[in-house]
Amino acid sequence: MSQIIGEVKKQIEKRRTFAIISHPDAGKTTLTEKFLLYGGAINQAGSVKGKATAKHAVSDWMEIEKERGISVTSSVLQFSYGGYCINILDTPGHQDFSEDTYRTLMAADSAVMVIDASKGVEAQTRKLFKVCTMRHIPIFTFINKMDREAMDTFELLDDIETELGIATCPVNWPIGSGKEFRGVYDRTGEKVELFSDTRKGTIQGEVKKVPLSDPELCGLISDSQRKKLEEEIELLDGAGAEFDQELVSKGELSPVFFGSALTNFGVETFLQHFLQMTTFPLPRMSDKGWINPMEEEAFSAFVFKIQANMNRAHRDRIAFMRICSGAFEAGMEVYHMQGGRKVRLSQPQQLMASERKMIEKAYGGDIIGVFDPGIFSIGDTLTTAGDRFSYEGIPTFAPEHFARVRQVDTMKRKQFIKGINQIAQEGAIQIFQEFNTGMEEIIVGVVGVLQFDVLKYRLENEYNVEIRMDNLPYEYIRWIDNTDIDVGKIIGTSDMKRVKDLKERPLLLFVNEWSIRMTQERNDGLVLTEFAR
């Protein structure tokens, strides 16, 4: 038995599970693909832009993603490199899909933040970063697109520190940008790594490394660039934060790297440093305290994402799970805490976007997809532990945009209800009903308005249902925390609407924020919350 446990522990120690976050168009998907190239998982990088005939990014699998050239749902990718087993969680960059990104970050042990060198910290980066700091996970920064004109390097670092409130420690330092980009200076090795443009879909060849003191460097970079580099390094050594692994692990110091994902420069250097600076899977909080994968022998996992119809030919539903401890074996029986019964996990698979690979084994830190017959929800815990426990739940964002949704063809009511319910169970949208009616009136709430487009597209393409949407003026939603209150007798304001969610919990919708306070004042003891408990 001890030998089996030892093997499981050894496998978990090899795991590295991280999410990639960025503002749209910062180059996150391109960076992801270059990682996969180095791991031998793909042979040629796709492109998220270009002609309709072009190969699409491997991490974008939904048709709407390929049409628009943006990621609208998180994808899970696994590859091996340098003795490590790496799980990448590629997230949507667009803020309208931030809820999916938030749930994905719950399954990661660290995050890679990609920043466009010409733009610095952008709005969505700020929002996602706050989620990382809430979880205190290590954050690594890759400043991308150095082959284009960039902001001043010190300004970029100051921007990160000011906007995000985290100290930075550059591991390497760029020499020029755009047409003048010559490479980076490796601060630890005290050598200049020279940039040479490569074919965009291939792995970069041998990088030439020249010590700063080597006379050969004079013919490789200009005198002014060399002088500027020496001055900047002196300034950085004197005033910059020193590398501190403990602070990195606490999420208080971000190691910074410079490069170009498109031309492949600096990507492998970043990957190598990243793997040395990150740790194996971290403990997770449960209702029985912290569950440490290095101590807990039993299998345990939580569901962080549900996706229906990833493959239209299969018409199936996949529950994505983050394994937190122990080993997973195909067909194993586990206890579903929220369902209160034992279930068999069938058709286990790991995914390369929409490509599936059936698996026999997986370990703590891995992300797997299992067939979901409709019994799992986001946040559910599964375990084989005798002393059962549940992991902390995943909170949902309060919707900010609402619309009344109807199917155009009344004969397709059944498909409409099935489709809208399945998409709601994935967590991308929330659906509500009028408080005193049946399912005739359906109100959809979303965090970002682009989710309405995705809903319309998916209902038409996956369920063959055409819908009509009428936007509603509501902007604020509150769950009613009191179980003893008569919702029908609540004295509200003229802009208030009573609804109920999928679990029959009563809610109130408001057009104006002041209406919330007024409603509470008019109903003594009424407790309203922004999140469902």
Higher pLDDT, 248 or 440: 248
Strand order in the sheet with 191-194: 172-175, 183-186, 191-194, 209-211
Q: For residue 230, report the phi and psi dihedrals to the nearest 5 degrees.
A: -60, -40
Rg of the chain in Å (alpha carbons)? 25
Is 391's pLDDT higher than 80?
Answer: yes
Is 71's pLDDT higher than 60?
Answer: no
pLDDT for position 7: 86
- 349-352 and 528-529 as β-strands: parallel, antiparallel, unpaired? unpaired
∠ CA 431-435-439, nearest 5°, is 55
Residues 238-263 have pLDDT tens digits of: 877 789 999 999 889 999 999 998 88
Is 133's pLDDT higher than 80?
Answer: no
Sign, Cα dihedral of 90, 94, 99, 102: positive
20-71+111-277 domain in CATH 3.40.50.300? yes
Give the three-class secondary structure for 267.
helix
Q: For residue 185, report the phi and psi dihedrals to the nearest 5 degrees.
A: -105, 120
Q: For residue 125, report the phi and psi dihedrals to the nearest 5 degrees.
A: -60, -45
The domain ranges of the chain are: 20-71+111-277, 284-383, 401-529
Residues sharing a CB contact under 8 Å with residue 106, sequence separation 6 or more, in sequence order = 135, 304, 322, 394
∠ CA 447-450-456, nearest 5°, is 110
Residues 278-290 have pLDDT tens digits of: 989 989 999 999 9
CATH annotation of 401-529? 3.30.70.3280
Alpha-carbon distance of 332 to 34, in angstroms, equals 35
Identify the CATH assignment for 284-383 out of 1.20.200.10, 2.40.30.10, 3.40.50.2000, 3.40.50.300.
2.40.30.10
Mean pLDDT of 177-181: 89
pLDDT for position 99: 63
- Whole-number percent of the chain with pLDDT over 90: 32
Alpha-carbon distance of 80 to 64, in angstroms, equals 30
Judge if 284-383 and 401-529 fold alike in CATH terms. no
Q: What is the pTM of this model?
A: 0.78
Q: Which long-range contacts (CB under 8 A, 24 or more apart) does 352-360 make?
A: 352/41, 352/42, 352/58, 352/77, 352/78, 353/58, 353/59, 353/60, 353/61, 353/75, 353/77, 354/61, 354/310, 354/311, 356/311, 358/330, 359/330, 360/329, 360/330
Is 373's pLDDT higher than 90?
Answer: no
Is 157's pLDDT higher than 70?
Answer: yes
Alpha-carbon distance of 184 to 265, in angstroms, equals 9
Note the residue count of the chain: 533
